Amino acid sequence: MALSSEALSRIASFVTNNLSAEMPDSVDHFGGIIGGEEPSRYSSSPHLWNSLFRLVGTSGYFGALDLPGKQQLTRLLGYLTDLPECVDITITSPYKAAAYECLDQLPQPAHLTERVRHLQCLNHIIPERRTGTLFVDNTDGQGMIRALEKRRALQNARVLLVGAGGAAASIGYELVVAGAQLTIANIIPDEAVALKALLDPLTEHRATVGAGGWELIEETAPSSEVIISAITASSPLTESEFALLPADCLCADTRYGSNGLFAEAARRAGRSSIDGREMLFGQFQLAAERVGALLEIDPQLLSKTFSIIEQEFTA
| 3-class DSSP assignment, residue 87 | strand
CA distance 159 to 22: 42
CA distance 25 to 8: 11
CA distance 14 to 67: 7
Summarize pLDDT for 31-80 with one digit per residue, the tens: 999 999 999 999 999 999 999 999 999 999 999 999 999 999 999 999 99
Q: Which CATH class is domain 141-274?
A: alpha beta
Q: Which residues contact 20 (CB under 8 A, 6 or more apart)?
A: 8, 12
CA distance 119 to 173: 8
CA distance 312 to 272: 20
Identify the bridge partners of residue 127 per DSSP, sorted by sequence position: 134
- What is residue 233's predicted lDDT score, i.e. its pLDDT? 77
| Contact indicator for 192, 184 with CB cutoff of 8 Å | yes
| Contact indicator for 208, 140 with CB cutoff of 8 Å | no
Region 209-222: what's the mean pLDDT? 95
Summarize pLDDT for 131-160 with one digit per residue, the tens: 999 999 999 999 999 999 999 999 999 999
Fold agreement (5-138+279-314, 141-274): yes
The two beta strands, 60-66 and 272-274, are unpaired
What pTM value is reported for the model?
Answer: 0.93
5-138+279-314 folds as Rossmann fold (3.40.50)
Burial (Cβ within 10 Å: 0-12, 13-18, ≥19) of residue 290: middle
CA distance 176 to 289: 24
Domain ranges of the chain: 5-138+279-314, 141-274
Q: Which residues contact 129 (CB under 8 A, 6 or more apart)?
A: 84, 294
94 upstream amide cis, omega within 30 of 0: yes
Q: Output the CA–CA distances (angstroms, integers) from residue 259 to 34, 256, 275, 314, in the order listed.
A: 21, 5, 9, 15
Region 124-131: what's the mean pLDDT? 96
| Contact indicator for 245, 221 with CB cutoff of 8 Å | yes
| Contact indicator for 171, 180 with CB cutoff of 8 Å | no
CB atoms within 10 A of CB 247: 7
The two beta strands, 86-91 and 124-128, are antiparallel
Residue by residue, DSSP assigns 233-254 as SS-SS-HHHHHTS-TT-EEEES
Residue of 218, 215, 211, 154 lying closest to 184 (CA atoms): 211
CA distance 210 to 104: 34
Report the catalytic residues.
Answer: 96
CA distance 129 to 308: 29
CB atoms within 10 A of CB 233: 7
Summarize pLDDT for 76-121 with one digit per residue, the tens: 999 999 999 999 999 999 999 999 999 999 999 999 999 999 999 9
Confidence of residue 3 (pLDDT cuts 50, 70, 90): confident
Whether the predicted pLDDT of 205 surpasses 70: no
- What is residue 234's predicted lDDT score, i.e. its pLDDT? 85
Identify the bridge partners of residue 135 per DSSP, sorted by sequence position: 111, 126
- What is residue 63's predicted lDDT score, i.e. its pLDDT? 96
